[in-house]
C-alpha cells in the first residue's frame, strides 16, 4: 500500500488525549480540501479517537503509517 | 467521655430553621455508579447484622457456634443456587467476582489440559478474564480474542468458529458488558460450545439480579455487590460434570474450589439481597429501562458532539454510556462529583492508566470524555432529571475552558 504524502504534519508526541484530536480539529482547515493531514501522536487513545473524530466530522480517515517517534495518523480533508 | 455523649450529639444539632438556604453542593450526592457497586439492599443490611451475631464462628468446626455458622452458610448456598438455577454443591463463594472469574477461567483450563490449551473469549470481557488469559498465555497456552462490532457485541458466528477450532479447552463470554451495557449472544454461544464439546464460562456479574441469564453455561461467575449484597462476596458455579482443577492450592472449603475461611455474615447478606433482587427484578428493569432510554435520548439531543455508545435496545436496563468529544473524561468526572453526581468512566484520560478502555477500543468508538451512568433501586426519575439538567452546561463549560468551542 502506498502512503499518501501529507501536506501538513501535526506533532502531538507527548500530548495525551483529547489534545491530539483537538489539534487536528483546529488545523484541518490549514490544508486544501482533498489534501492529507497527518497527526503524529504516541498517546494510544489517538488510534481510537482520530478515526472516531473523522466519523463524527465526515472526514476521511486513511489509516496510520510508521514514523519516527510514533504512529502517524493520516486524514484526508473532505473535498469541498 | 461517657458512652451517652455519643448518642446525645445528634439531638443537640440545631435545626437549620434560619440562615442561608443550603447550597446544592451540600445536598446528598446522587449515586449513579451501581455497575461498580450497588448500595446495600435493605434486606441485606438486616441479614448482615443478624448474621454478624449468629454466623461469626468458623463453619468448619464442630461446636455449637460453628454449627450455627454452617447452617447459615448452607442456607445461603441453597438460596443462591436456587436463584441461579444450580445445585447447592455446584455453588462456591469467593472473595470477589474477580476471584471467581480467575478460578473459573484458570480452573476450567487446567481441568481440560488434555483436550487442548486454547482459551476463547470476547474482546470486551471484564479485565479479570483478560488477566486470567494473560496468565494462561504466559504459561504457554494460546488465547483467541473474538472481536466485537461497533455496538460492542460479538458475532455468534465468529464466536462459534473460534470455539470450533481444534484444541479449544474453554470459552468465556460475558452475559452483558459492564462498560456499555450491550447484551452478548450467550444462548448462541452456549449452543456452539455444546456442539463443539467445549465448556462455556459466563461472567454474569452485570446481569444477575438485573435480567435473566440464558441457560447452557458450564460455569457462571457473579459478584454480590453488583446486586445489592455487601462487597467481598463473589459466586463461582461449576456445573456437575464440568472438568475443573483448582489453579491455586486447595483445602476442604467450598467444595475444594475456594481456599480459606468463608465470610459467612457477608455471604448470608449476599444471598438475602439476591433473593430480594430477583423478586423485584422485572419491576425494577421495567422502571429503569425508560430512564436509561431517557438519558440516551436527552444526552444525544442536548450535548453537542456526543457519541452514545452500546446497543440502543438489546442492552442492560440500568446502564448507559456516552463520550463527549474534546472533553477530558477525568476532568468531567471531577466536575460532576463537585456538583454531587457519582458516575464512572472508561476513559483513558486518567493519571493512573495510559491505555484506552479495551472495551471502547474493541468497539472502535470515541474513548475520551467517557461517562458511564448506572442506576439502582434507589435511583429516581428526579435524580436522572437533575443529572440531565446539569450535564450540558458542564460539558459546555469544560469545552469553553479548553478553547474547543466551535471546532
Q: Provide the domain count of chain A.
A: 1
| Distance separating alpha carbons of residues B317 and B294, to the nearest angstrom | 12
| Distance separating alpha carbons of residues B24 and B327, to the nearest angstrom | 24
Chain B residues within an 8 Å CB radius of A47: 356, 361
CATH of the domain at A23: 3.30.110.40
Mean pLDDT of B393-397: 98
Sheet holding B168-174, edge to edge: B91-94, B234-238, B219-223, B200-203, B168-174, B118-122, B142-146
pLDDT tens per residue across span B189-202 = 999 999 999 999 99
What is the percent of chain A with per-residue pLDDT over 70, rounded to a whole number? 98
CA neighbor of B217 nearest in space, from B249, B240, B234? B240
Residue B303, Cα to own-chain centre: how many angstroms? Answer: 27
In a domain, A23, yes or no: yes
Q: Which helix (H) or strand (E) holds A19?
A: helix A19-27
Q: For chain B, which residues make up each domain, given as ranges? A: 27-40+280-402, 42-275
Mean pLDDT of B206-221: 97
Chain A residues within an 8 Å CB radius of B328: 17-18
B window 358-397, beta carbon within 8 A of A:
360-361, 364-369
Instruction: Give residue B14's pLDDT.
Output: 43
Instruction: Give residue B397's pLDDT.
Output: 97
What is the percent of chain B with per-residue pLDDT over 90, rounded to a whole number? 89
A29, closest residue in chain B (CA to CA)? B407
Asked whether the predicted pLDDT for residue B8 surpasses 80, the reply is no
What separation in angstroms does the CA of A43 have from each of A15, A73, B210, B404?
7, 12, 37, 19
Nearest CA of chain B to the CA of A52: how many Å? 5
Whether chain A has a CB inside 8 Å of the CB on B149: the answer is: no
Q: Which helix (H) or strand (E) holds A48?
A: helix A46-56
Whether chain B has a CB inside 8 Å of the CB on A26: the answer is: yes
Tell me if the domain spanning B42-275 has CATH number 3.30.70.20: no
pLDDT tens per residue across span B122-173 = 999 999 999 999 999 999 999 999 999 999 999 999 999 999 999 999 999 9
Question: A28: domain range?
Answer: 8-76
C-alpha cell at B28: 446528598
| Distance separating alpha carbons of residues A4 and B221, to the nearest angstrom | 49
In B139-185, which residue ranges form alpha helices assigned H by DSSP? 156-164
| Distance separating alpha carbons of residues B42 and B44, to the nearest angstrom | 5
| Distance separating alpha carbons of residues B372 and B170, to the nearest angstrom | 31
Instruction: Give residue B102's pLDDT.
Output: 98
Instruction: Give residue B27's pLDDT.
Output: 67
Mean pLDDT of B20-32: 67
Nearest CA of chain B to the CA of A4: how many Å? 23
Instruction: Give residue B18's pLDDT.
Output: 47
Instruction: Give residue B354's pLDDT.
Output: 60
| Distance separating alpha carbons of residues B223 and B100, to the nearest angstrom | 8
| Distance separating alpha carbons of residues B104 and B79, to the nearest angstrom | 21
B368, closest residue in chain A (CA to CA)? A18
Question: Residue B18 CB: number of other CB atoms within 10 A?
Answer: 6
Instruction: Give residue B21's pLDDT.
Output: 47
Of B326, B361, B404, which is closest to A48 when you measure between CB atoms?
B361
Instruction: Give residue B246's pLDDT.
Output: 98
Q: Which helix (H) or strand (E) holds A71?
A: strand A70-76
In a domain, A3, yes or no: no
pLDDT band at B5 (very low <50, low <70, confident <90, very high): very low
- Residues 6 or more apart in contact with residue B316 via CB below 8 angstroms: B176, B181, B183, B206, B207, B210, B211
C-alpha cell at B166: 481444534
Sign of the torsion angle spanned by Cα atoms B315, B320, B326, B330: negative
In B232-345, which residue ranges form alpha helices assigned H by DSSP? 264-302, 329-338
| Distance separating alpha carbons of residues B201 and B48, to the nearest angstrom | 30
Q: Which helix (H) or strand (E) holds B133?
A: helix B127-138
Q: Which helix (H) or strand (E) holds B323?
A: strand B319-324
Q: Which residues pair with B324 in a beta bridge?
A: B306
In a domain, A58, yes or no: yes
Interface predicted TM-score (ipTM) over 0.95: no
On whether the CB atoms of residues B72 and B381 are closer than 8 A, the answer is: no
Instruction: Give residue A17's pLDDT.
Output: 86
Nearest CA of chain A to the CA of B264: how many Å? 43
What is the percent of chain B with per-residue pLDDT over 70, rounded to a whole number? 91
Q: Do B368 and A53 touch (CB under 8 A)?
A: no
Instruction: Give residue B363's pLDDT.
Output: 96
Residue B249, Cα to own-chain centre: how many angstroms? Answer: 27
In a domain, A65, yes or no: yes
Q: Do A51 and B364 touch (CB under 8 A)?
A: yes
Examine the residue annotation and report whether B349 is marked as an active-site residue of this protein: yes
Chain B residues within an 8 Å CB radius of A51: 364
pTM metric for this prediction: 0.91
Instruction: Give residue B356's pLDDT.
Output: 83
Asked whether the predicted pLDDT for residue A2 surpasses 70, the reply is no
CA neighbor of A18 nearest in space, from B368, B286, B181? B368
The CATH class given to the B27-40+280-402 domain equals alpha beta
| Distance separating alpha carbons of residues A21 and A24, to the nearest angstrom | 5
| Distance separating alpha carbons of residues B120 and B200, to the nearest angstrom | 9
Mean pLDDT of A16-34: 94
| Lowest mean pLDDT segment, chosen from A12-16, B79-83, B138-142 | A12-16
Q: Which residues pair with B237 in a beta bridge?
A: B91, B220
Q: Which of A16, A41, A49 to mutate to test the interface with B (most CBs of B within 10 A)?
A: A49
C-alpha cell at A62: 486513511
Instruction: Give residue B353's pLDDT.
Output: 54
Instruction: Give residue A72's pLDDT.
Output: 97
In a domain, A1, yes or no: no
Asked whether the predicted pLDDT for residue B232 surpasses 50, the reply is yes
Instruction: Give residue B26's pLDDT.
Output: 52
- Residues 6 or more apart in contact with residue B337 via CB below 8 angstroms: B29
Q: How high does pLDDT run on average in chain B? A: 92
pLDDT band at B283 (very low <50, low <70, confident <90, very high): very high
Whether chain B has a CB inside 8 Å of the CB on A9: the answer is: no
Of A17, A21, A22, which is closest to B348 when you measure between CB atoms?
A17
Establish whether the linkage from the previous residue to A18 is cis, with ω within 30° of 0.
yes
Please provide residue A9's backbone torsions phi and psi, each rounded to the nearest 5 degrees: -120, 125
Mean pLDDT of A35-55: 94
Nearest CA of chain A to the CA of B403: how many Å? 9
Mean pLDDT of B383-405: 96
- Residues 6 or more apart in contact with residue B265 via CB below 8 angstroms: B48, B51, B52, B55, B56
Asked whether the predicted pLDDT for residue B11 surpasses 50, the reply is no
Amino acid at each position: 500500500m502506498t502512503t499518501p504524502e501529507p501536506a501538513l504534519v501535526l506533532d502531538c508526541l507527548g500530548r495525551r488525549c483529547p489534545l491530539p484530536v483537538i489539534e487536528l480539529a483546529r488545523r484541518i482547515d490549514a490544508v486544501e480540501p482533498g489534501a492529507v493531514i497527518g497527526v503524529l501522536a504516541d498517546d494510544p487513545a489517538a488510534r481510537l479517537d482520530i478515526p472516531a473524530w473523522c466519523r463524527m466530522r465526515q472526514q476521511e480517515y486513511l489509516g496510520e503509517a510508521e514514523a519516527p517517534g510514533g504512529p502517524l495518523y493520516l486524514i484526508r480533508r473532505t473535498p469541498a | 467521655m461517657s458512652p451517652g455523649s455519643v448518642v446525645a450529639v445528634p439531638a443537640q444539632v440545631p435545626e437549620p430553621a434560619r440562615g442561608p438556604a443550603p447550597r446544592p453542593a451540600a445536598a446528598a450526592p446522587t449515586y449513579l455508579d451501581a455497575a461498580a457497586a450497588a448500595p446495600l439492599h435493605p434486606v441485606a443490611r438486616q441479614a448482615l447484622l443478624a448474621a454478624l451475631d449468629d454466623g461469626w464462628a468458623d463453619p468448619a468446626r464442630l461446636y455449637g457456634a460453628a454449627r450455627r455458622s454452617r447452617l447459615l452458610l448452607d442456607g445461603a448456598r441453597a438460596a443462591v443456587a436456587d436463584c441461579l438455577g444450580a445445585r447447592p454443591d455446584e455453588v462456591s463463594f469467593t472473595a470477589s467476582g474477580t476471584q471467581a472469574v480467575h478460578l473459573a477461567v484458570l480452573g476450567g483450563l487446567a481441568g481440560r489440559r488434555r483436550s487442548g490449551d486454547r482459551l476463547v473469549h470476547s474482546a470486551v470481557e471484564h479485565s479479570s478474564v483478560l488477566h486470567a488469559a494473560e496468565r494462561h498465555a504466559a504459561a504457554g497456552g494460546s488465547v483467541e480474542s473474538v472481536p466485537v462490532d461497533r455496538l460492542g457485541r460479538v458475532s455468534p458466528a465468529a464466536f462459534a468458529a473460534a470455539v470450533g477450532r481444534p484444541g479449544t479447552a474453554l470459552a468465556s463470554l460475558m452475559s452483558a458488558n459492564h462498560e456499555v451495557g450491550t447484551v452478548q449472544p450467550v444462548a448462541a454461544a452456549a449452543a456452539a460450545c455444546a456442539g463443539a464439546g467445549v465448556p462455556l464460562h459466563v461472567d454474569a456479574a452485570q446481569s444477575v439480579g438485573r435480567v435473566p441469564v440464558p441457560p447452557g453455561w458450564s460455569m457462571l461467575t457473579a459478584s454480590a455487590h453488583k446486586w445489592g449484597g455487601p462487597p467481598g462476596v463473589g459466586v463461582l458455579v461449576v456445573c456437575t460434570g464440568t472438568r475443573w482443577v483448582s489453579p491455586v492450592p486447595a483445602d476442604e472449603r467450598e467444595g475444594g474450589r475456594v481456599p480459606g475461611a468463608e465470610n459467612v455474615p457477608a455471604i448470608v447478606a449476599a444471598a438475602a439481597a439476591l433473593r430480594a433482587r430477583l423478586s423485584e427484578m422485572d419491576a425494577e428493569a421495567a422502571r429503569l429501562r425508560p430512564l436509561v432510554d431517557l438519558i440516551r435520548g436527552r444526552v444525544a439531543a442536548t450535548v453537542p458532539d456526543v457519541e452514545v455508545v452500546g446497543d440502543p435496545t438489546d442492552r442492560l436496563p440500568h446502564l448507559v454510556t456516552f463520550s463527549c468529544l474534546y472533553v477530558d473524561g477525568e476532568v468531567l468526572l471531577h466536575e460532576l462529583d463537585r456538583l454531587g453526581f457519582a458516575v464512572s468512566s472508561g476513559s483513558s484520560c486518567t493519571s493512573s492508566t495510559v491505555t484506552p478502555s479495551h472495551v471502547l477500543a474493541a468497539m472502535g468508538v470515541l474513548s475520551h470524555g467517557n461517562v458511564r451512568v448506572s442506576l439502582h433501586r434507589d435511583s429516581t426519575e428526579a435524580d436522572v432529571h437533575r443529572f440531565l439538567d446539569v450535564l450540558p452546561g458542564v460539558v459546555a463549560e469544560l469545552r469553553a475552558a479548553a478553547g474547543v468551542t466551535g471546532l
